[in-house]
């Protein structure tokens, strides 16, 4: 029956390494899933993909045993329930600003009487060899706090019954709390942003839920684990592809003594 490996990892007091998919392609998903991540999240919010891409990506990841998750575009029941029915074991929901929004999000994740999720796990039933109300206890509901309003309501959000954790997206958190004073980005080094991130961590610990952080580099993710974060995401498919390609090109140019970029025809 359905069970979530991330809960077993956390029960052993180990942190989770999460991968990130923004390219809507099953082969890319399969490649990433085979690299040793504990979980992989498909980014339906900002990724170059939609639900029709998401489902075959879940299928492609199945053989690796990695835990599949999704970040949905918004706190909207239809896409949350469809992602779960497609096989997502966790949902990251953006822009949670109040405890009422957090409670509503949680309700979309659970079958009655705990919530209002509609029953119809078409693909999930096949992928997990059966699917029933035990899913209520296995699926992870992770809320993103990204605004000043969310920070103002942090303690109440973290205390929401049924919420499993808070997922920190540093780019929007910076935009949402600094009034445009700081540029968006990962791996914050400003004292005020580190303090904000650690405040979210403390609220999670005080309420017995998981603290999750999106990072740009393994080095920063390791720092976050030492702070006490339970899950870190390190970069993602599009950024990793760009970085590896750039490193390869630069190495070739250094080794051959040739410099400059090749001309490109950008006409249409």
- DSSP for 49-92, please give it: --HHHHHHHHHHHGGGTPEEEEE-SSS-HHHHHHHHHHT-SEEE
DSSP 13: T
The pairing of strands 231-234 and 140-144 is unpaired
Token reading at 172 = 């929007």
Q: How far apart, in whole angstroms, are the C-alpha atoms of residue 212 and residue 233? A: 8
DSSP 260: S
214 is catalytic: no
Which of 14, 46, 181, 253 is an active site residue?
46
Q: How far apart, in whole angstroms, are the C-alpha atoms of residue 108 and residue 263? A: 50
Distances (CA, A) of 31 to 21, 25, 61, 69, 196: 11, 10, 8, 16, 35
Active site positions, annotated: 46
């Amino acid at each position: 029956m359905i069970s979530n490996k991330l809960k077993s990892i956390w029960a052993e007091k180990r942190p989770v390494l999460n991968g990130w998919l923004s390219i809507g392609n099953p082969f890319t998903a399969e490649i990433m899933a085979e690299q040793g991540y504990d979980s992989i999240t498909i980014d339906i919010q900002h990724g170059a993909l939609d639900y029709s891409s998401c489902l075959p990506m879940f299928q492609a990841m199945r053989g690796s045993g990695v835990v599949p998750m999704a970040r949905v575009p918004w706190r909207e029941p239809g896409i949350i329930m469809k992602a779960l029915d497609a096989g997502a074991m966790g949902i990251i929901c953006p822009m949670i600003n109040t405890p009422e929004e957090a409670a509503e999000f949680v309700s979309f994740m659970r079958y009655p009487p705990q919530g209002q999720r509609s029953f119809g796990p078409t693909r999930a039933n096949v992928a997990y060899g059966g699917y029933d109300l035990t899913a209520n206890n296995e699926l992870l509901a992770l809320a993103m706090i990204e605004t000043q309003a969310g920070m103002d309501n942090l303690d109440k959000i973290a205390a929401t019954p049924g919420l499993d954790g808070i997922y920190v997206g540093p780019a929007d958190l910076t935009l949402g709390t600094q009034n445009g004073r700081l540029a968006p980005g990962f791996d914050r080094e400003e004292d005020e942003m580190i303090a904000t991130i650690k405040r979210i961590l403390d609220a999670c610990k005080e309420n017995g839920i998981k603290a999750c952080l999106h990072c740009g580099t393994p080095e920063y993710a390791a720092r976050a684990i030492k702070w006490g974060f339970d899950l870190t995401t390190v970069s993602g498919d599009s950024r990793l592809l760009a970085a590896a390609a750039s490193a390869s090109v630069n190495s070739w140019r250094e080794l051959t003594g040739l410099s400059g970029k090749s001309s490109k025809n950008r006409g249409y």
